[in-house]
Amino acid sequence: MAGVHAGVVSNVLGGQINVVISKGIPYYESSLANNVTSKVGPLSSGLFTFKTSGCYGTLGMESGVIADSQINASSFLEWPEQLGQPSTWNPERARLKRPGHSWAAFTNDEYQWLQIDLNKEQRITG
């Protein structure tokens, strides 16, 4: 698979890429990356996206297609809040782009895990 970084195509890992142009977002907020802050402003109307073989779409962690009952973990942190109510960092909190805290294991060691039951065999890449 070839890659693109800073506009340079590299075939170090081998393979062919297919480039498609699709409509991008018209506006972006400023952000900080590598000690450089970008300015708020408009983007171009075109956005390059790359088609990869067999990897289209998401599995459902963000959208909720994967149910809470399909998410399990080795442990999770539970902490009493100021008013005495428990605050839990349970496995279903591991979803993307959700308000509040995420999942956290009870202990910080190499034996903690998060398990997602996909209900069928899936190819996962990342």
Task: Note the pLDDT tens digit of each residue in 20-67.
Answer: 555 555 555 666 665 566 666 655 555 555 555 655 677 888 889 999
- Is the Cβ–Cβ distance between 65 and 41 less than 8 Å? no
Percent of the chain with pLDDT over 90: 24
* Whole-number Å distance between alpha carbons of 122 and 116: 11
In this structure, what token pair is assigned to residue 99? 């308000």
- The whole-number pLDDT of residue 2 equals 46
b/e for 51-76, b at 16 or more Cβ within 10 A?
eeeeeeeeeebeeeebeeebbebebb
With beta carbons less than 8 A apart as the criterion, state whether 66 and 116 touch. yes
Q: What is the mean pLDDT of residues 58-84?
A: 88
Which residue's structure tokens are 């190819």? 123
Question: Which pTM does this prediction carry?
Answer: 0.53
